[in-house]
A and B are shown apart, each in its own frame.
Chain A
Amino acid sequence: MKNCEYQQIDLRALRTSTTRTSTNKNSQRVRRKWEVFPGKNRFYCDGRIMLARQCGVLPLTIVLIFITSGLFFRFDCPFLVHQLTVFIPVIGGVLFLFVVITLLQTSFTDPGILPRALPDEAADIEKQIDNSGSSTYRPPPRTKEILINNQVVKLKYCSTCKMFRPPRTSHCSLCDNCVERFDHHCPWVGNCVGKRNYRFFYAFIVSLSFLTSFIFGCVITHLTLRSQSVNGIIQAIKESPASVVEVVICFFSIWSILGLSGFHTYLVASNLTTNEDIKGSWSSKRGEESGNPYTYNNIFTNCCVVLCGPMQPSLIDRRGFLPPDDTPPIVTSDTELPHFMAKNDTNMCTQSTKELLESVAHSTMIQSTCTPGTPKTTPVSQESLLSTVSITVSPSSKSPSTGCSGRQARRPIDVPCSQRGSKQAALHTHKTMLRVSSPPYSLGHSPIILSDAPNMGFIPLN
């Protein structure tokens, strides 16, 4: 059995080391994790609000909504209040507020972005994948088949995020993130629609369809009543030209918005995503009986689950703090450093241990195994495995991102995300290769040496 002794990890001692390091931090500016987030996102209010980098036509959406509603309240409401009832602007106001709030929530909420895998985790996954080729051989795209509710589902490997995507997760090429329960990337709201903001998005399109229908109806009523009083539609239009603008905007919006609402109501009732519906993931292909494994086979239950289900908090810790800036990037690239840091409000135990890990990782040490009997994977081969696999990363399957309007809903745009992933992997490999030196490896019980030599690197074991 083992000859070495295991010592208790002294959590109190680890905690004191943390407090000592954190006082050093205060002397320099601490950065938050959102500042080094690897995806293509923009952050405002110190990480509280996030948007996709390509915010698309979100400004146009906001302008259209505000202009139409503004014209309605300014030109149509006075007449209608006088002729009909005061509730018209009240209802209009409530709908307008609903629309604006849900739009902002859809745009500014994290849609369910999955943080990228850390190097250790990525290496562990790579180890599990059978890689039996030379460095010039490109392995086929990696998939893993699992059973969900007795149905075979394929999980694909994401080369950018370096992990097997959970079911219903897709990589958005515009945002360069894997998003859970990915529906589509909506240019109108300037963000992906995924697990966490789908209910906001649905509420937005439903309330917007009510608002446009309401404004359209009111404006038509207004013009009709006015034309009766001035004996001519042309005269009525001359008296209230803004109404024509509203009619035009509403007329063209209603078709697409109502169509989209109807389409998403169908998706909600059958617990599908736009992505799955377009790809035909669960339609009966090849004559096989393959239904949606996630449905509860009950429209009411599906609706409740999708719209009123539990709200998972954001997995990317935007406002957490990064480790001090003076840590030299020895093994990993800068973008992966923040993942080592724990959240400030989680237990001190893991946080302090992480810092211990960090300091150990950035120090120089030669690790050895403690088991004379069983040879572990040698560090040299581990390194070569990493480099081989990283270089020969295969292009993962393309991820469709669709437009948002109902008319365009059937035209996916395929953008491969593999090129970016390959470049990042090559960069990691380059950095790793420069700094790694092969340590003297022995099967014996050799001590761990802590030295100050800066040009030796730390090889991550697994």
Chain B
Amino acid sequence: MATEFHNLQELRHSASLANKVFIQRDYTDGTVCKFQTKFPSELDSRIERTLFEDTVKTLNNYYAEAEKIGGQSYLEGCLACLTVYLIFLCIETRYEKVLKKISRYIQEQNEKVYAPRGLLITDPIERGMRVIEISVYEDRGSSGSSSGSSTTSSSGR
């Protein structure tokens, strides 16, 4: 553990986790995976409402696409039934493909939108699709020894 300490202290920002905000599921349309778009008050001063809502709405759209019941899913289901479901061992289902897209989207959002604001979104699949966990990082203020990364000052908020 001591090794990790020194790595931490070497990291210039030493961002520390202050809070976690959980976006719960929205069950009004049934058991389909959908998250509430209500803007949590803890993020009020950290991120713009529209950006947050865009992220959640895009995620909801992705999940809706994954769970869409239509021609392709029926085809997949019938084919699986005929092959005694052994096909699931061989091919990647559409759901898994969409989950990979979601993973990439979340990573991109984190890099472009959330990390600059001291926030980090956790992929809901790691939380059993129950919540979108947003970690809120607080900085202790003046930077210590710098190691090359740039500082964003958001005191103008």
| B3 contact set on A, CB distance < 8 A | 20-21, 24
* B interface majority secondary structure: mixed
B12 to chain A: closest CB distance in Å? Answer: 7
User: Once the chains are docked, how many angstroms separate the CA of A367 from the CA of B106?
Assistant: 28
* CB < 8 Å neighbour of A350 from B31, B66, B120, B153: B120
Among A10, A363, A369, A452: residue with most chain B CB under 10 A: A10
Assembly CA distance A370 to B45 (angstroms): 12
A248 interface residue, CB < 8 Å from B?
no
List which B52-70 residues lie within 8 A (CB) of chain A.
66-69
Distance A115 CA – B157 CA, assembled complex (angstroms): 38
A8→B151 CA distance, assembly (Å): 6
**Mask: chain A, 93-121; 1 = CB below 8 Å from B; 0 = not:** 00001100110010000000011011011
Number of cross-chain contacts by CB at 8 Å: 257
Q: Give Cα A411–Cα B92 distance, bound, in whole angstroms.
A: 39
Is there an interface contact between B84 and A101, defined as CB atoms closer than 8 Å?
A: yes
Q: A24 to B118: give the CA distance in the assembly, Å.
A: 28
**CB < 8 Å: which of B22, B76, B153 contacts A121?**
B22
Q: Is A294 part of the contact surface with B, judged by Cβ < 8 Å? A: yes
Q: How far is the CB of A246 from chain B (nearest CB, A)?
A: 24
Residues 322-360 of chain A, each 1 if its beta carbon lies under 8 Å from chain B, else 0: 000011100000000000001100111110011011011
CB contact under 8 A between A311 and B45, given known A153-B27, A343-B126, A370-B18: no
State the Cβ distance, A163 to closest chain B Cβ, in Å: 6
- Say which size band chain A's interface belongs to: 35 or more
User: Is A307 positioned at the interface, with any CB of B under 8 Å from its CB?
Assistant: yes
Q: Which residues of B come within 8 Å of A, CB atoms?
A: 1-5, 7-9, 11-20, 22, 25, 27-31, 45, 66-69, 73-74, 76-78, 80-81, 84-86, 88, 93-96, 99, 103-104, 106-107, 110-111, 115-118, 120-123, 125-131, 133, 135, 137-143, 147, 149-155, 157
The 0/1 profile, CB within 8 Å of B marked 1, for residues 155-166 of chain A is: 100000001001
Given contacts A13-B12, A121-B130, A309-B73, 18 further A-B contacts (CB under 8 A): A6-B137, A17-B11, A97-B84, A101-B86, A114-B130, A120-B22, A146-B27, A166-B31, A181-B31, A307-B77, A308-B73, A308-B80, A312-B95, A342-B123, A349-B115, A359-B5, A359-B8, A367-B16
Point out the residue from A21, A310, A369 that lies within 8 Å of B69, measured CB to CB.
A310
Inter-chain contacts of B99 with A (CB < 8 A): 313
Q: Which residues of B contact A7 (CB under 8 A)?
A: 12-13, 15, 118, 139, 143, 149, 151-152
Minimum C-beta distance from A400 to chain B (A):
20
Q: Does A5 sit within 8 A of B, measured CB to CB? A: yes
By beta carbon, the residue of chain A nearest B72 is A310
Interface locus among A210-218, A275-283, A443-451 = A443-451
Let me know if A307 and B16 touch, CB within 8 A. Answer: no
Partner of B12, one of A10, A149, A356, A452: A10
Q: How far is the CA of A13 from the CA of B150 in the complex (A)?
A: 12
Contacts of A17 in B (CB 8 A): 4, 7-8, 11
- Within 8 Å by CB of A2, from B67, B116, B127, B155, lies B155
Interface residues of A in 99-153 (CB under 8 A from B): 101-102, 105, 114-115, 117-118, 120-121, 124-125, 146-149, 153
Residue of A nearest to B77 (CB): A308
Residue of B78, B126, B137 touching A346 (CB-CB under 8 A): B126
Residues of A within 8 A of B123 (CB): 342, 346-347, 350
Assuming the contacts A346-B123, A357-B17, asked whether A310 and B94 have C-beta atoms less than 8 A apart, the reply is yes
A to B CB contacts below 8 Å, 25 in the list: A1-B157, A2-B157, A5-B142, A6-B153, A7-B12, A7-B139, A7-B143, A11-B111, A13-B147, A148-B29, A149-B29, A304-B69, A308-B80, A309-B69, A310-B76, A310-B93, A343-B125, A346-B126, A347-B110, A347-B123, A360-B16, A363-B5, A448-B140, A450-B9, A450-B14
The answer to whether residues A311 and B28 also contact, given A8-B149, A118-B127, A360-B8 and a CB cut-off of 8 A, is no
B41 to A: closest C-beta gap in Å: 11
Map CB proximity to B onto A8-25 as digits: 1 under 8 Å, 0 otherwise.
Answer: 111101100100110010
Q: Cβ of A20 and Cβ of B7 under 8 Å apart? A: yes
